[in-house]
Amino acid sequence: MQVNSEHIDKWLALQSDLGRAANTVAAYSYALRDYQKFCSALNTCVNTASREHVAQYVRNLLDRCVVKMDSDGSRQGVFANATVRQRITVVRLFYDYLVEEGLRTTNPVGRGSRLGGRYRRDVRAVVPIQHKMPWIPNEEEWQKLLSEACAMSLRNRLMLALAYDAGLRREELCLLHTEDIDPSFRLLHIRAETTKGNRDRIVPYSACTGQLLRDYLVFRRQLTNARGALFISESSRNFGIPITIWTWSKVIRALGNAACLPKFSTHTLRHLCLTDLARSGWELHEIATFAGHRNTSTTLIYIHLSGRELAAKLASASSIHGSRMEAIKGAFQ
């Protein structure tokens, strides 16, 4: 198996040298090590595995999607459909590398048949794509979350407010620097290296978030005068160290459990923000720009989720987004 590890290591090093994000390379490594372990169990060399072996690996992944029941009665798997597809995509990319290096003649993970020199879009994928609407809390659930959030620290309350107010991804939020804030215009600079699409963007935040930010900056100066990471640890073990994305995930998981909403995640606040913007009548391209979406097909999810056509018939003069921020302000004061 040393040959397998050697080429896997070289391919992962190549991805890192090409500027792939550290989390992306880590995900690639985890997927390939899992595939390598599966091949080892079959006494098969990764480099020479066939389509049959890949098919067995897909079956193995699907079998590991152990079905369980959520609290709301819906069926959930340990592996999401997207996770299975991501694992197979990594394996396909690795075999592309082996073919390019002359170590194989064919890629056992097919992309579909060709027709007239082009890939057919109607060919069934190795693992069919499942399009599911993201979960967002209703008004009653949102109030439960806010009620529980009042007991959180000032830092965590600010992070929750920013995550919703500016529609930030987990990495974008946790990797904010003090230099990224423009308090005079209430703007955040989301740096390209922290984003999923590797593109800068500028997003606004509300006045009530600004108040939380001012209070937190006063508190932060009691911890450290150093510039850099905006959100730092207050624990004695990691005092003054920038918090990690895993720390924020634990905070959100604890909040969701306290509110009896296990589906609540770090990405839920972004989903909710973009849905509320669609409900408030923002245009598709405006939401896409705000969210940093490269493809507006991603943004369309929130347009559909918002029930925008029905909302238009019940048009209200007030902004849903604005009223929700007022609710945050009232709960946190």
Q: Mean per-residue pLDDT for 125-137?
A: 71
Kindly report the average pLDDT of the chain as a whole number. 83
Q: Is the pLDDT of residue 248 over 90?
A: yes
Q: Where in the chain do CATH 1.10.443.10 domains reside?
A: 139-332
Q: Would you tell me how many other CB atoms lie within 10 Å of the CB of residue 322?
A: 14
Q: Is the dihedral of CA 153, 155, 158, 162 positive or negative?
A: negative
Q: Mean per-residue pLDDT for 20-41?
A: 89
Name the band, by pLDDT with cuts 50, 70 and 90, for residue 2.
very low
Q: Would you tell me how many other CB atoms lie within 10 Å of the CB of residue 39?
A: 21
Q: Mean per-residue pLDDT for 21-25?
A: 83
Q: Where in the chain do CATH 1.10.150.130 domains reside?
A: 2-119
Domain 139-332 has CATH 1.10.443.10: yes
Length of the chain counted residue by residue: 333
Q: Mean per-residue pLDDT for 24-35?
A: 91
Task: Note the pLDDT of residue 312.
Answer: 54
Cβ 35 vs Cβ 46: under 8 Å: yes
**Residue 204 one-letter amino acid:** P
**Higher pLDDT, residue 66 or 116:** 66
Would you say the pTM of this structure is higher than 0.75?
no
CB burial of 142-179 (b: ≥16 within 10 Å; e: otherwise) equals: bebbbebbeebeebbbbbbbbbbbbbbbbbbbbbbeee
Architecture of domain 2-119 in this structure: Orthogonal Bundle (1.10)
Nearest to 48 by CA among 121, 104, 91: 104
Q: Is the pLDDT of residue 122 over 50?
A: no
Name the band, by pLDDT with cuts 50, 70 and 90, for residue 317.
very low
User: Which of 29-33, 187-191, 321-325, 327-331 is predicted with the least confidence, judged by mean pLDDT?
Assistant: 321-325
Q: What is the separation, in whole angstroms, between the first and last Cα of the chain?
A: 60
**Higher pLDDT, residue 74 or 227:** 227
Task: Note the pLDDT of residue 115.
Answer: 37
Cβ 260 vs Cβ 144: under 8 Å: yes
Phi, psi of 203 (to 5 degrees): -130, 145
Alpha helical stretches, state H, 150-192: 154-165, 170-174
- At residue 65's C-alpha, the angle toward residues 64 and 67, to 5°, is 125
